[in-house]
A and B are shown apart, each in its own frame.
Chain A
Amino acid sequence: MDGLKGRLNTSVQFKLSFTLSLVILMTAVVAGVFSFLSAFDEAHELQDDVLRQVAQLVDRQRLSPPSPATEPRLDSGSEESRVIVQRLGAGTASSLGVDAGGTLALPTTLADGLQTLDANGETFRVLVRTTASGERIAAAQESGFRNEIARNGALRTVMPFLVLVPILLLIVADLVRKMFRPIATLSKEIDQRDERELHPIQDRDLPTEVRPFAVAINRLLARVLQAMESQRRFVADAAHELRSPLTALSLQAERLAGAEMSETARERLLLLRQGIERGRNLLDQLLALAKAQSVADPPRTPVSVQYIYRRVLEDIMPLADAKRIDIGVEGPQDTQVWVSELDMIAIVKNLIDNAVRYTPAGGRVDLSVTAAEGFTVLNVRDNGPGIPLAERERVFASFYRALGTDQIGSGLGLSIVQAIADRIGAQIRLDFTDAATQNGLSVTVLIPAIGPLHSPVGREAIKP
């Protein structure tokens, strides 16, 4: 019952269907009972009329009611529907039963008119009449039978109700559901949205009653969009503003390095400059993340993945060299992707940077690109420690850093990759490079292919 009450309170659609059905049912019951009763009465009156006419007929034609003894029994087959006509007081109760053609045991004191009384153990409707010749006759019919006829007639009048009410209920339920369909569609649409899809909802096809809600939701969406935008702008602006003091700091530290100083001071200055470098790196990553999360999709162009690998490796080679990491591209094939070049560089750069950072000195990093069923598959794998299964969900969170490493990354690399991947519709998969020993990280990026633009030859990007 609680469930029903709950649904009544929460669902307008259910409430409407329920109330309408209830009203229809009640109306149908009242109307049904009423028409049943009146039809029942009507049938009785009709039968009374029949008795009257039979009595009158007997009187007019001066027929004398048959004497029970002489009258051969007519086998009509419907003895119950019989109208019995007999002289009142004549030959009182016969030995024969009524059904066998005998007379009814009626008291002679009966007054003229219609009455219902018991005779021979059954209930009869009896009309007593005094004929012109002074004789008193009685016309009688079995009450049970009369009631049955009346009941059948009355039931036939109620029958349409009984058939139509369920149909009506079905129609009502269907209509209500149809009326609420735009709302259901709308809620489904909103439900399936990504957190960045904050465009206004379509309110043109909605009923007037619901439109205010849609308008209000649109206004809320606009405010959320604005808030998100201003937050993003804040991050970008803050990172941006921090650049000036950091520049000043690093320039001063650089100048300081040129000055005369003791060995201890020089060592500490080196640490200071490393700290500044780290701050600078973090700022760059913050700006990159803010950009990656921005709603605006930079213009897309076909980009060769090999070209991107080369661009990024040119930047990263010094770092890889310093750690003596063997980094390279496997396989000669190339594929073009339909993504903005800056996005592509950001994805590849962060993945390779991570690989180089977390692979021990003397390690190996392999890049590859292949085309497979509608996707361009980029793969970056290293022989570093890898990421345990339990941590794979969390590594995409901002400022996450792998435990047990002394690396000073920004903790934003994979967040940036994820944000861009979400925007361009790409998927990221993390695996072990070597599944047997659970070692090494292998990151696979699946970028939806662009069909006819696939080409086996890379774009010649570096012009003389």
Chain B
Amino acid sequence: MRVLLVEDDPMIGEAIQEALKDASYATDWVKSGQLALTALRCQRYDLVLLDLGLPGKDGLDVLACIRGEDNPIPLLIVTARDGLDDRLRGLDGGADDYVLKPFEMAELLARIRAVLRRKGGPAAPILGNGVVSLDLVTKEASTDGRAPVQLSNREFSLLRALLVRPGAILSRSELEDRVYGWGYEVESNAVEFLIHALRRKLGSEIIKNVRGIGWMVSKGV
């Protein structure tokens, strides 16, 4: 995997470059928009990390140039500009994600993986949050250090709904929508029943209840 890093701040650039190297990405680092465009023409990259506040050519202009040339390369904006306006212009301009400074390297790496996954065809057939992972094909769930457990169809649907966005809280009605089809008579404690079953199989910590709102799986580490 070859990554082009466009960042004018030497300290940040160096830190990101080293961290990417640690995560086994080959990284080229340029410090201006013009150089970034030149590099993109000369070399094939798998991903671009683009800062917005660049000397000379602004990041958003660079983005417009790249997308103007019909280059579909996965691109993440990494910036300190947190205005809704900038964010919308970045995402509407064709960026695949928008990471706000200051960020943790672990988060940046996770987002890079997510973008590569999205752009690289069908998602990996495993969902997980670092605590529990769910195989979408075999419908088996496993927690750290335990053998995979086979889930029933409804248990699987419920866990999948929660694992699509770890950290998000889903209400009872939302979970019912995901698990049961239309016109299906849902008993009032059906969701609790499924969650109880899941906890018994996978450990009580995997699904958290938020009083008065709903359920979630933790965001992981």
Contacts and interface: CB of A to CB of B under 8 A. Distances in A.
B11 A318 contact: no
Contacts of A287: 82
B9 A248 contact: yes
A350 interface: no
Contacts of A330: 212
A245 B18 CA distance: 17
For chain B, the bracket of interface size reads 35 or more
Contacts, number: 98
Contacts of A321: 208, 218
Given A310-B169, A327-B211, A462 B174 contact: yes
A460 B170 CA distance: 10
Interface string A329-358: 111100000000010000000000000000
Contact of B210 (A318, A328, A342): A328
A317 B167 contact: yes
Contact of A252 (B11, B170, B173, B178): B11
Interface centre among B15, B18, B19 (most CB of A within 10 A): B15
Nearest to A280: B102
Interface residues of A, number: 37
Contacts of B169: 310, 313-314, 317, 462
Interface string B71-104: 0000000001110100000000000000001111
Interface centre among B11, B104, B213 (most CB of A within 10 A): B213
Contacts of B214: 310
A342 B83 CA distance: 11
A400 B214 CA distance: 35
Contacts of A342: 84
Contact of B16 (A251, A283, A309): A251
A329 B102 contact: no
B187 interface: no
B101 A247 contact: yes
A240 interface: yes
A371 B211 CA distance: 21
B217 to A, nearest CB: 11
Contacts of B213: 306, 309-310, 313, 328-329
B212 A314 contact: no
Contacts of A246: 101-102
Interface string B134-177: 00000000000000000000000000010011011111011001
Given A314-B167, A342-B84, A250 B22 contact: no
A245 B11 CA distance: 8
Nearest to B81: A240
A237 to B, nearest CB: 11
B219 A318 contact: yes
| Nearest 8 CB-CB pairings of A with B | A328-B211, A329-B212, A248-B11, A251-B15, A247-B102, A243-B80, A247-B101, A328-B212
18 contacts: A247-B9, A251-B12, A251-B105, A254-B106, A280-B102, A287-B82, A310-B171, A310-B213, A313-B169, A314-B168, A326-B211, A327-B210, A328-B211, A330-B212, A331-B212, A332-B212, A464-B164, A464-B174
Interface of B: 9, 11-12, 15-16, 18-19, 22, 80-82, 84, 101-106, 161, 164-165, 167-171, 173-174, 177-178, 208, 210-214, 216, 218-219
